[in-house]
Structure 1
């Protein structure tokens, strides 16, 4: 029996973090499936599942994607702003752009909303790379652990991936002082990997960590004091299952009972040569039913009423809207004569949720930028406003604020301009002012018509 690795040794950290990552991935895969509309099929008796499988697959209406996208669609970093002298905010924005983090941050926010966590990895400059490299990392491939008693100081991190060239499972362990690399043949289902040292040409195994810190910023979605981030879908997957069940029942009712069923009495049913009853009528839209018997009577049963199914589904959608603070018209797709005030009230819960989620995402972004050498005091993160207002409302509010002496830069920021746009507009204003002043001075002190050595001789 192999001896357990020493506590806090590289092998101990590797096994500990790999086990934690596997457990978390298994739990959060459920939420990823719901977001991707891979819901479990609604329940039916085992004997009925195969005949109705086509209807069951058609019954999945994916409200989980709408819940997540309503939040993530309004999480957008606009730039960085500095309260001290220097160009730290410009450097931060340049670093952001060089690493394509306009899109990369959105990927991180999306995975955090679905699975509860995502990560940004910081790599120091090396080779031809002149600056830090920042990459979004998937929560099924990265996990971190904080120091005891310090939620913001990381003790270790593990990055895991499958090498498609060698078919080996690879991992890299990051400790504040060193970096250790391992690989293993792909384990069988349910088996544990048999790790070995992964040697890389030109690198020393267990080489020094150039940053001196664990190089990850965590994007956590609604964490708690003693619990990590949680999925936005955690409380509503059961309601999604109810909706799918209601839709499945409605579709089966439509299939077999939504059309009026006809009946006839007082006529003899024909039989075939074997004595088996023959269906007497071939019913179609362009055909009529005729019976030779004098006492024959025709009629039809009422079609099944589907309104109960529709009301049940709508009630469940309202439950999702209430629990997730998603405006109901996002999910129901219906807006009937809603005023601007009513729309604003309907979105109030979503706006509050966005501001709340941003506080914790901002911690991870600031940690990432700090690892890249930019302190949050030098370059504060600026978000785009999540509130949608009409242009008339916004301009009217800004004009009123300007009468109170609010600086133009602040008004531009409230309007939604990025820090880069504000700086450009400020320079354009200064340039226009200088040109205007130069024109005024020239008009005041420049040569006058008919005066000076270049003036034309006055008519005598």
Structure 2
């Protein structure tokens, strides 16, 4: 039987962090613009090294930000009750109250960016003094163990580092299993013999580990891959091409003028009668070229610029120029590499190249198709993770109906750029031609929030109640007839 003691689990979880530290740190470096240096000559001088720093063109934040900015949870639709009736979802529903208490409207973006960048991130759901809240955890500090990492949504153990080791001060971590939370200390990730688990433990209140994984992509081996790591070779290629372009611009993009048969003037130093170097012109009786440490004459600096002309009295001196080298091919190479990056990462080319002029609506829609499919995939994966977070929070709050609700689903805000007129026309056709209830289409109005939706429902109910009251009053009021007694003339007229 496998050893599942807390100490064994802590060592295994810290070993995972130690194993992945170098890979995740490299991804982190590329996200923040700390890229590998492009190739340069072994004897490169400071000017080459400066050009290498300026050659870094960091595209990786855009690869993360483009899909992340289209991921925004705007509501939660609960499942059905035991009687088969839908549970009401309002701003006062337990799921949405937990969402607002955790301030996830603003914090959800960090969870998505972490998952897209490193391949996965985590969310911890726990009971606090402010109530049940959830918070994001970094992949660089958190690891989890699964019996089936490809299919299980609940780990059987997870650990997150709360303080890294500093000198003699050990690092601290929190570890969770299906029932308890443990305090863990360690000297370093590589020193597993220093790992200690405190004997005191406390129940976290859930029936399973309260840490939920948000994975951008998981294969059947349980490996997670983000959007940055596969693009590092292409990012390096772009940096190398831009470095070559900068070198070409610096050294060959301008016409070079040359002169032959002319010796530059030398730096001179004054000598006194004893042949010693002096700086006093009154004592100077002779002069000689100033020598460097190797005994060679040191040329004097010439102040030459575009406003000055060089001329020579010697007829053997020749002036000429070398033509500038072309840089157009390097610019085309940069453009090609960026297009490859756009194709492989499923990012629309106009997001990277900024070329959007003279594009029809159909062309823009076709360019956005691949990105829309990728975002839909992320919404499906992350949506399942959020649903587990809601179930864990409901269990801690003692809400059994929400804790056992596996049919609820999060609602994602429609981030596609469409005009309100287009959306109104499409929704009107759905209601008129397909008979879909108009109230069921309110959620699909672009930009509508949960608060606005509930305000609309309340106003609609108030309008309905006023209308029903008016109808009831009309029906309850008897028809009135004239009380004036009939006269002979009136009888004749009536006849």
TM-score exceeds 0.5: yes
**1:233 corresponds to:** 228
**1:458 corresponds to:** none
> Pairwise mapping of residues 189-228 of structure 1 onto structure 2 (< 5 A)?
191-192=191-192, 194-198=194-198, 205-228=200-223
Q: SS at the partner of 1:222?
A: coil
Deviation at 1:397, TM superposition (A): 1.6
**1:328 corresponds to:** 349
Q: Does 1:382 align with 2:403?
A: no
Gaps of 5+ in 1: 200-204, 453-460
**2:10 corresponds to:** 14
- C-alpha distance in structure 1 between counterparts of 2:192 and 2:461, whole Å: 66
Q: Does 1:408 align with 2:409?
A: no
- C-alpha distance in structure 2 between counterparts of 1:398 and 1:230, whole Å: 38
- C-alpha distance in structure 2 between counterparts of 1:284 and 1:194, whole Å: 67
Gaps of 5+ in 2: 81-85, 267-287, 290-295, 395-401, 484-495
Q: Does 1:289 align with 2:292?
A: no
The 1:9–1:192 alpha-carbon spacing in structure 2 relative to 1, beyond 3 Å, is closer
Greater CA deviation, 358-367 or 50-59? 50-59
Q: Does 1:263 align with 2:292?
A: no
Question: CA deviation digits over 1:207-258, x for unaligned, max 9?
Answer: 3342121111110111112123211112210111111111112212222222
Partner residue of 2:111 out of 100, 105, 108 = 108
Preserved CA contact (<8 Å) 1:263 1:300:
yes
Q: SS at the partner of 1:67?
A: helix
Preserved CA contact (<8 Å) 1:119 1:136:
yes
Number of residue pairs aligned between Structure 1 and Structure 2:
437
- C-alpha distance in structure 1 between counterparts of 2:347 and 2:52, whole Å: 27
**1:155 corresponds to:** 156
Preserved CA contact (<8 Å) 2:72 2:412:
yes
Q: SS at the partner of 2:57?
A: coil
Q: Does 1:242 align with 2:237?
A: yes
Q: Does 1:45 align with 2:41?
A: yes
**1:58 corresponds to:** 54
Question: CA deviation digits over 1:268-303, x for unaligned, max 9?
Answer: 445535495968974322223333455765432211
Question: CA deviation digits over 1:441-460, x for unaligned, max 9?
Answer: 77898899xx99xxxxxxxx
Question: CA deviation digits over 1:405-444, x for unaligned, max 9?
Answer: 2222332222232344323212212213333555677789
- C-alpha distance in structure 2 between counterparts of 1:278 and 1:209, whole Å: 79
Structure number, greater radius of gyration: 2
The 1:49–1:156 alpha-carbon spacing in structure 2 relative to 1, beyond 3 Å, is farther
Question: CA deviation digits over 1:9-38, x for unaligned, max 9?
Answer: 111111111101221232222111111111
- C-alpha distance in structure 2 between counterparts of 1:164 and 1:429, whole Å: 59
**1:251 corresponds to:** 246
Q: SS at the partner of 1:372?
A: helix
The 1:258–1:440 alpha-carbon spacing in structure 2 relative to 1, beyond 3 Å, is same
Q: SS at the partner of 1:26?
A: helix
